[in-house]
Amino acid sequence: MTRSTAASTPRRARPWRAYALLVAAALLTACEKSHSPADVPQWQRPPGLVDAATQTYRFMDGQCRSLQRIPAPWRLQPDTFVPAWRSGDIELEADTAAFGIPPPAKNRATGEDQYRVSISLGTRGYVPNPTWERIDSQWRVLLGLMPLGEPIPPRWPLADAFKAYAHPSGSGDYLYYDATRRMIVLDRETEGWPNGFTDGVIWLSEHQALGFRIPYEALDRLDVLAEQFQSLPAALSVPCTPDSPPAARPPTGDSP
C-alpha cells in the first residue's frame, strides 16, 4: 500500500507540472509579442534587427544604428537574469572611472552598480504621449505635466545647471533636474543599499530618449554624462536599408 501511494504521487503531480510549464511558455510568448506589435508606430517599437552582419537595428525614432560602432568606453551590458531581448532593450554600460566619477566612500556599502553607468536604448527610450494615463513621474516633469516647487538643497553635490526638488507626490524622494538639457534623475534614497544607485532619463529628440542608471557619486558629473548620452546615438548611426525586413530580437551582452 505504501509503495503504491508513493508511486502514484508523481503521476498525479505530472499534469500540474506540465500545466505550469505551458503557462510559463505562454506568458513568455505573450511578453515577446507585446513588445513588437505590428499595429503600433515604429517609434513605439523595440529596436528591430535589419542587418545581422553589421548588428544594425532600426530604432523607435526610425534611425538605424550599428552595434559594431559602439565607441569606447561603452560596451554591451552582459545579460544577468532576464535576457535583454525579453524586455526589448539594448543596454550598454561603461566604467564610472572613464567619466571621472570617484569610487564610493569607504563608509558606504558597495556593489557593482556603483562602479558603472548603465543606459538603455530600448523601449525605455521612447517619448510617451502626454495624453496617456500611465506616465511615470520623471516623464510627467519632462512633459510639463507635473509642476515642481522651488529648488531645495540637494542631498548630494550636483553638476552645474541641475537643481534639486522635493518630489511633488510628497513621497520624500528627490528630483534632480536640468530643463535645458531635458534631463532628470529620481533619487529614492537608496545609497545605503549594497548596490546603491539612482536612475533617470534624458530626452534626446522628438521620439528618442535614453534611460540610465548611475551611482550617487555620478551626480556631480551629470553634465559630462549628458554630453555622452547626447552624442551616443549619432555615433552608432548608419544608413537604413530601404528593403530591410522588420525583425526581431535585440542582442544580448553575450553576442559576438
| Regions in the chain scoring below 50 on pLDDT | 1-38, 42-43, 81-87, 123-124, 244-256
pLDDT for the residue numbered 250: 44
Structural domain contains residue 247: no
State whether 132 and 202 are in the same domain. Answer: yes
Structural domain contains residue 255: no
Instruction: Report the DSSP beta bridge partners of residue 93.
Output: 75, 118
What tens digit of pLDDT does each residue of 62-119 get? Answer: 788 898 999 999 998 876 544 444 445 678 999 999 999 998 877 777 777 889 999 9
State whether 136 and 165 are in the same domain. Answer: yes
Distance CA 135, CA 117 (A): 24
Structural domain contains residue 189: yes
pLDDT for the residue numbered 79: 65
188 by Cβ neighbours in 10 Å (0-12 / 13-18 / 19+) ranks as middle
Q: CA distances (Å), 31 to each of 34, 88, 104, 145, 180, in order?
A: 5, 10, 37, 30, 36
State whether 178 and 229 are in the same domain. Answer: yes
> The domain containing residue 68 runs over which residues?
42-238
pLDDT for the residue numbered 126: 66
State whether 190 and 218 are in the same domain. Answer: yes
State whether 97 and 26 are in the same domain. Answer: no
Structural domain contains residue 13: yes
State whether 11 and 105 are in the same domain. Answer: no
Residue type, 209: A
Structural domain contains residue 23: yes
Total tally of structural domains belonging to the chain: 2
* Residues near 119 by beta carbon (within 8 Å), at least 6 away in sequence: 74, 91, 92, 93, 210, 211, 212, 213, 229, 232
Q: Give the CA angle between residues 50, 54, 59 to the nearest 5°.
A: 40
Structural domain contains residue 243: no
Which H or E run includes 87? Answer: helix 84-87
